[in-house]
Amino acid sequence: MKDPDIGAVARASGLPASTLRYYEEIGLIASSGRKGLRRLFDPGIYERLALISLGRNAGFSLQEIGAMFAQDGNPRIDRAQLHDKADELDRLIRRLRAMRDGLRHAAECPAPSHLECPTFQRLLKAASADMKRGKSKGK
Protein backbone atom coordinates (compact mmCIF):
# COMPACT_ATOMS: atom_id res chain seq x y z
CA MET A 1 0.00 0.00 0.00
CA LYS A 2 1.56 3.20 -1.18
CA ASP A 3 1.11 6.32 0.80
CA PRO A 4 -2.35 7.62 0.01
CA ASP A 5 -2.86 10.95 -1.64
CA ILE A 6 -5.40 13.45 -0.45
CA GLY A 7 -8.18 11.95 -2.53
CA ALA A 8 -7.65 8.52 -1.10
CA VAL A 9 -7.60 9.84 2.44
CA ALA A 10 -10.71 11.85 1.73
CA ARG A 11 -12.55 8.83 0.39
CA ALA A 12 -11.41 6.60 3.21
CA SER A 13 -12.07 9.04 6.01
CA GLY A 14 -15.17 10.71 4.69
CA LEU A 15 -13.61 14.13 5.20
CA PRO A 16 -13.47 16.52 2.25
CA ALA A 17 -10.05 17.25 0.83
CA SER A 18 -10.51 20.90 1.76
CA THR A 19 -10.83 19.89 5.38
CA LEU A 20 -7.68 17.82 5.22
CA ARG A 21 -5.79 20.74 3.72
CA TYR A 22 -7.20 22.95 6.41
CA TYR A 23 -6.14 20.54 9.12
CA GLU A 24 -2.67 20.47 7.67
CA GLU A 25 -2.59 24.25 7.47
CA ILE A 26 -3.36 24.58 11.16
CA GLY A 27 -0.84 21.92 12.00
CA LEU A 28 -3.27 19.28 13.13
CA ILE A 29 -2.05 16.73 10.65
CA ALA A 30 1.03 16.55 8.48
CA SER A 31 1.61 15.14 5.04
CA SER A 32 4.53 12.80 4.77
CA GLY A 33 5.80 14.24 1.53
CA ARG A 34 4.93 15.18 -2.00
CA LYS A 35 4.89 13.47 -5.31
CA GLY A 36 5.18 16.41 -7.62
CA LEU A 37 2.73 18.81 -6.11
CA ARG A 38 0.51 16.24 -4.54
CA ARG A 39 0.55 15.56 -0.88
CA LEU A 40 1.12 12.05 0.26
CA PHE A 41 0.06 10.88 3.65
CA ASP A 42 1.44 8.24 5.87
CA PRO A 43 -1.12 5.49 6.58
CA GLY A 44 -0.90 6.52 10.21
CA ILE A 45 -3.03 9.47 9.14
CA TYR A 46 -6.13 7.38 9.62
CA GLU A 47 -5.43 6.79 13.26
CA ARG A 48 -4.65 10.43 13.68
CA LEU A 49 -7.89 11.44 12.03
CA ALA A 50 -9.74 9.00 14.25
CA LEU A 51 -8.16 10.61 17.28
CA ILE A 52 -9.20 14.00 16.00
CA SER A 53 -12.71 12.80 15.41
CA LEU A 54 -12.72 11.36 18.90
CA GLY A 55 -11.68 14.66 20.34
CA ARG A 56 -14.30 16.53 18.36
CA ASN A 57 -16.95 14.13 19.59
CA ALA A 58 -15.87 14.76 23.11
CA GLY A 59 -16.29 18.46 22.57
CA PHE A 60 -12.70 19.59 22.25
CA SER A 61 -11.87 22.40 19.88
CA LEU A 62 -9.32 21.77 17.15
CA GLN A 63 -6.85 23.85 19.14
CA GLU A 64 -7.28 21.74 22.21
CA ILE A 65 -6.91 18.63 20.14
CA GLY A 66 -3.73 19.95 18.60
CA ALA A 67 -2.34 20.47 22.06
CA MET A 68 -2.90 16.81 22.80
CA PHE A 69 -0.24 15.61 20.43
CA ALA A 70 3.39 15.64 21.30
CA GLN A 71 5.87 16.83 18.68
CA ASP A 72 6.62 13.25 17.83
CA GLY A 73 3.03 12.97 16.77
CA ASN A 74 2.03 10.58 19.49
CA PRO A 75 -0.90 11.43 21.65
CA ARG A 76 0.20 13.07 24.84
CA ILE A 77 -2.94 13.05 26.78
CA ASP A 78 -2.85 14.16 30.29
CA ARG A 79 -4.81 11.75 32.43
CA ALA A 80 -6.03 14.53 34.65
CA GLN A 81 -7.26 16.33 31.58
CA LEU A 82 -9.18 13.25 30.55
CA HIS A 83 -10.79 13.07 33.95
CA ASP A 84 -11.74 16.71 33.77
CA LYS A 85 -13.26 16.25 30.39
CA ALA A 86 -15.14 13.19 31.55
CA ASP A 87 -16.53 15.15 34.47
CA GLU A 88 -17.52 17.95 32.15
CA LEU A 89 -19.27 15.47 29.93
CA ASP A 90 -21.05 14.13 32.96
CA ARG A 91 -22.43 17.53 33.76
CA LEU A 92 -23.43 18.09 30.18
CA ILE A 93 -25.14 14.72 30.04
CA ARG A 94 -27.11 15.49 33.16
CA ARG A 95 -28.32 18.75 31.69
CA LEU A 96 -29.22 17.11 28.44
CA ARG A 97 -31.08 14.33 30.16
CA ALA A 98 -33.16 16.81 32.09
CA MET A 99 -33.83 18.63 28.88
CA ARG A 100 -34.81 15.49 27.07
CA ASP A 101 -37.19 14.44 29.81
CA GLY A 102 -38.67 17.90 29.87
CA LEU A 103 -39.18 17.93 26.14
CA ARG A 104 -40.74 14.53 26.23
CA HIS A 105 -43.03 15.56 29.01
CA ALA A 106 -44.01 18.75 27.27
CA ALA A 107 -44.85 16.78 24.17
CA GLU A 108 -47.28 14.70 26.12
CA CYS A 109 -48.50 17.23 28.62
CA PRO A 110 -52.25 17.76 28.56
CA ALA A 111 -52.06 21.36 29.75
CA PRO A 112 -53.55 23.66 27.13
CA SER A 113 -50.37 25.67 26.86
CA HIS A 114 -46.88 24.63 27.79
CA LEU A 115 -46.65 27.70 29.94
CA GLU A 116 -49.27 26.31 32.27
CA CYS A 117 -47.63 22.96 32.72
CA PRO A 118 -45.76 22.66 36.01
CA THR A 119 -43.07 20.48 34.55
CA PHE A 120 -42.51 22.92 31.75
CA GLN A 121 -42.33 25.69 34.29
CA ARG A 122 -39.70 23.78 36.19
CA LEU A 123 -37.73 23.44 32.99
CA LEU A 124 -38.06 27.13 32.36
CA LYS A 125 -36.84 27.93 35.80
CA ALA A 126 -33.83 25.69 35.33
CA ALA A 127 -33.13 27.27 31.97
CA SER A 128 -33.19 30.76 33.33
CA ALA A 129 -30.87 29.69 36.12
CA ASP A 130 -28.49 28.26 33.51
CA MET A 131 -28.72 31.51 31.66
CA LYS A 132 -27.65 33.46 34.69
CA ARG A 133 -24.78 31.19 35.58
CA GLY A 134 -23.37 31.48 32.09
CA LYS A 135 -23.71 28.31 30.14
CA SER A 136 -20.92 25.78 30.10
CA LYS A 137 -20.09 25.00 26.52
CA GLY A 138 -21.65 21.84 25.29
CA LYS A 139 -20.39 20.39 22.07
Residues that bind its own copies (CB under 8 A): 13-15, 46-47, 49-51, 53-54, 56-59, 74-75, 77, 79-80, 82-83, 85-86, 89-90, 92-93, 95-97, 99-100, 102-104, 106-108, 113-115, 123-125, 127-128, 130-135, 138-139
3-class secondary-structure state, position 69: strand
Instruction: List all residues 6 or more positions away from 61 whose beta carbon is below 8 Å from its beta carbon.
Output: none
Q: Residue 34 or 136: which CB sits closer to its own copies?
A: 136
State the minimum distance, in angstroms, from the CB of residue 94 to DNA: 21
Q: Residue 40: is it exposed, middle or buried by C-beta count within 10 angstroms (0-12/13-18/19+)?
A: middle
Of the pair 32, 128, the CB lying nearest its own copies is at 128
Q: Give the residue with the Cβ less far from its own copies, 30 or 127.
A: 127
Using DSSP's 3-state secondary structure scheme, residue 118 falls into helix
Which residues contact DNA (rule: CB under 7 A)?
5-8, 10, 16-19, 21-22, 31, 36-39, 56, 61-63
DSSP string, 18-56: HHHHHHHHTTSS---EEETTEEE--TTHHHHHHHHHHHH
- Specify the residue, 36 or 133, whose C-beta has the smaller distance to its own copies: 133
Minimum distance from residue 52 beta carbon to DNA (Å): 8
Q: What is the C-alpha to C-alpha distance for residues 96 and 93, in angstroms, rounded to an integer?
A: 5
